[in-house]
Structure 1
């Protein structure tokens, strides 16, 4: 098939868009990104190119009529719903109604949103107990990529999309209203599973509005627990979460966003932080890997198990963000795990992202954000140091996508194994940061100095296939999270006895600790200038990220060379 010039028209360069950009390039096409700003600008950017096709993997804005009315350049929307489904709350309703199957549809942009002719569709079984963000980044993203590849292939064959016809029996989808808070509402008297499902269906955005200790907040990150109490009562605090009694059991709530007052912007923060000053009479439960390594508590953001000489340490932090406190807990857990009689230490993520580095929301909420950022980067460096200095052979498991410090955290291991389909962003510069997490030590040793410099300067995502090719990861496992977990443990057990890893062990013994610490010190000297002195605009970039402010244009690095446009911004 001939190479196509394709515009990706999107509201943000999110995970799905990054994956589409990568896979289209790997298929031999030349995609270029246009971030939606305003109608005139978007139209000019696209009309001034010779793009053959416009695909919208993630578009919350309406496609301008000038674009979708052009018969020479189809505009195809990737909608997270089955054929016939229309509306912006497709996934919210699918989770709330516990539908057994769902899907993604590629449809031609039309005057009525989601009503255009069908280019492709792909259905999947709905996982049980899934959050909206996990559904979107997992089965939905996989189905979306199937649709995108089908669209591109069919475009090359002069395919004619099929008009949407609700009279056909196979068209099961219907127009669904945008879900309101009244549709999401619950009572703390309700069953814990029902409440959790409501919160899961609103994960990411917008959350579910409820009251805790007299404060109206949007709730996120819910986990079932067996403890009971008076419905709505706060039963306990553990790490960053609060335990709330329900009609039958209870729920751990990990993150909250205070309901904003008129003219105010608020953002997600750890629940304990939002309710600070109101938790004095709420019991604190202080189990940890070090104090209760094999406890059976339902809610364990950091947990440990052993199997055949492999110590597996799993950390599961919401959205992959690692605050100063979370890093310190992880350091404590790693020190305990390193002291165990094991040959291999498997360091892996849980559900959702593996790690995206420092916790920008906690940083933004601090009295002095720059100082909190400085504390946070030193704390995550301490996590890396524990991995770099372990006696055991260390294996990292990239269970989800990773960005910036999260990629470098994984590289502190001797071997990195990744789940198929995840996206990596091994760079810091776009956030106004030099970077740390021993990246100047680990990255060149993994991919070579020139490649390390290219990755850090280009500020572009890479696929795990690319990562494998350049030596950033050593193998790629199954896409299914459960299957990947089993495969990952099998890999960790294998490397303990694999002669191919003998050289890795020897390099670990010969590692130059002084060289590692020199890299850390030099990185931190630069990061202090970036975080505390704000030499490259980190404070503003952090604020825009946390408050989800729309970009003023498309970063130049995302614009393909075949596009001639002034409507781009540096970065």
Structure 2
């Protein structure tokens, strides 16, 4: 079918649905919902069989839904209505939630139901639930709705009187306000989790009005409720009446000014002199409840290196800490090192927010990319162990090429990869991609870089970027990864495989040293950072400050490409 995606942005859910439907042979075109006139024009140009709205912030124009079937993906159970569906579910401690696919009509979220899928709720950030449970449920529900549409025999119906869902208003800051003297730890976590991603919970810290994000429980530190009692790697620990919580990121509230998220200690710099550091060993127990971005554990000759950075972004300092942890892992008497990344994201490369906040974004971009390169180089040149990358979550830009540095690469079946840089102002990219991509994909590497579209795990396997994909969820995937790693460590041919790895690296180095790949990439990157073309800096600013889209890029809007070509020809 010809399917038009009408969406506010090309977010994680929209990308996953794009991948799933394209994998099934559908012709997909995408239009950002900027205004009614643009939307109506997109429908006229593409003439879709079906319109799918994975992520909207306003109603579809009547001129469209009157004449085309429009399936709206709503992150709520049947009967749920309103713009804060998942927020209320988290705040109210719902044990089960769901996704409903509705037919657009004259009322928001009130159309006939085509499909619905429910899931068990985790105690987690809204952004994490959205990228995992909500996304998986949405894929299942959309595919079911499409099957029903194609059958021609299904008649959708309005939610019945027994539907559990109800209308709920936009959740405001008053609904999430924290009373540090009265609220217990669980309540505080729910309030911050319900706002994670956006809009955050408004609060005051150290005399600064801020939005709070990225919270987790602390199991041992204690203090007077409301006080900041510790700090660790950019996060602050704040005491509650019955425990403590870590807050990883803040966003200043400055009336009349745009601000963006940064690590909490960066925002509160200068006010934390009396707050002690709370160091944590790299091999701290995985059962601990605390803030830990990097963690290492060993099982049966295998070392597992976890690095769970917020939104997958890796600053200069985080890259350096991860490199030191990796060097320690290399010194251990293990046979296999598994790079686990984080649950929501494996890695998304350089930290654009930290770069934007620097005195010289160009200089910080340079430091950050070199720190990423140092890390990738260490993985490529590891010759005393075999390495595995285990992608539980999505990976993009430099993070995707960081994964390619490993000897073996596996991804969860629902993972989406964006192994390209050009969407960030025609950034050239580094992380040794000019060496790693051809090694994996051969001549298809150039097409992957130019395509600028997301790849599903199945397609990445066909292209040779990864070795395999499996696992319906993170737990299932992680269990399979452990089995593969243990088998590899105990394989009778292990020494032969390790010797083969050393020989290949020696041949590659003789043909063209890694230093030459890096120098060539960084020469192009220096132009991005310091050259006359400001495209990278403009694109980064727009990304960091969430500047609304003013048009849909042509690599997404297939329906506009022919028109553009005709205009150029004329």
TM-score, with structure 1 as normaliser: 0.94
SS at match of 1:453: helix
2:517 paired residue among 490, 502, 519: 519
SS at match of 1:413: coil
Asked if 1:188 is matched to 2:180, the reply is yes
SS at match of 1:525: helix
Aligned equivalent of 2:171: 179
Spell out, residue by residue over 1:251-288, the C-alpha distance to the aligned partner (whole angstroms, 9 max, x if none). 11100011122x21011111111011111111123335
Aligned equivalent of 1:219: 212
Is contact 2:45–2:560 with CA below 8 Å preserved after alignment? no
1:123 paired residue among 109, 118, 121: 118
After TM superposition, list the pairs within 5 Å mapping 1:95-114 onto structure 2.
Answer: 95-114=90-109
SS at match of 2:550: coil
Aligned equivalent of 2:447: 454
Is contact 2:251–2:261 with CA below 8 Å preserved after alignment? yes
TM-score, with structure 2 as normaliser: 0.94
Quote the Cα distance in structure 1 between the aligned partners of 2:567 and 2:378. 39
CA separation of 1:353/1:211 partners in 2, compared to 1, >3 Å: closer, same or farther? same
Long gaps (5+) in structure 2:
none
Asked if 1:326 is matched to 2:318, the reply is yes
Is contact 2:282–2:295 with CA below 8 Å preserved after alignment? yes
Long gaps (5+) in structure 1:
none
After TM superposition, list the pairs within 5 Å mapping 1:152-551 onto structure 2.
Answer: 152-167=146-161, 169=162, 171-189=163-181, 190-225=183-218, 226-261=220-255, 263-289=256-282, 298-390=290-382, 391-431=384-424, 432-448=426-442, 450-498=443-491, 505-510=498-503, 511-512=505-506, 513=509, 515-533=513-531, 535=533, 537-551=535-549
SS at match of 2:105: coil
CA apart distance, 1:93:
0.8
Aligned equivalent of 1:137: 131
Is contact 2:4–2:46 with CA below 8 Å preserved after alignment? no
CA apart distance, 1:335:
0.8
Quote the Cα distance in structure 1 between the aligned partners of 2:358 and 2:495. 46
SS at match of 2:513: helix
Is contact 2:185–2:244 with CA below 8 Å preserved after alignment? yes
CA apart distance, 1:469:
1.2
Q: More deviation in 315-324 or 157-166?
A: 157-166
Quote the Cα distance in structure 2 between the aligned partners of 1:397 and 1:479. 14
SS at match of 1:156: helix
Asked if 1:86 is matched to 2:81, the reply is yes
SS at match of 1:195: helix
CA apart distance, 1:561:
6.1
CA apart distance, 1:295:
11
4+ residue runs over 4 A deviation: 292-297, 499-504, 561-570
CA apart distance, 1:564:
4.6
SS at match of 1:418: strand
Is contact 1:349–1:355 with CA below 8 Å preserved after alignment? yes
CA separation of 1:42/1:294 partners in 2, compared to 1, >3 Å: closer, same or farther? closer
Quote the Cα distance in structure 1 between the aligned partners of 2:287 and 2:458. 37
SS at match of 1:313: strand
Quote the Cα distance in structure 1 between the aligned partners of 2:147 and 2:496. 45
1:15 paired residue among 5, 12, 15: 12
Q: More deviation in 373-382 or 483-492?
A: 483-492
Is contact 1:556–1:569 with CA below 8 Å preserved after alignment? no
Quote the Cα distance in structure 2 between the aligned partners of 1:347 and 1:53. 41
| Superposed CA RMSD | 2.2
Is contact 2:46–2:559 with CA below 8 Å preserved after alignment? no
CA apart distance, 1:311:
0.8
CA separation of 1:115/1:500 partners in 2, compared to 1, >3 Å: closer, same or farther? farther
Quote the Cα distance in structure 2 between the aligned partners of 1:297 and 1:330. 21
Spell out, residue by residue over 1:337-362, the C-alpha distance to the aligned partner (whole angstroms, 9 max, x if none). 11111100111112311111000011
CA separation of 1:41/1:212 partners in 2, compared to 1, >3 Å: closer, same or farther? same
Quote the Cα distance in structure 2 between the aligned partners of 1:359 and 1:134. 19
Is contact 1:212–1:232 with CA below 8 Å preserved after alignment? no
Aligned equivalent of 1:36: 33
Quote the Cα distance in structure 1 between the aligned partners of 2:318 and 2:518. 20
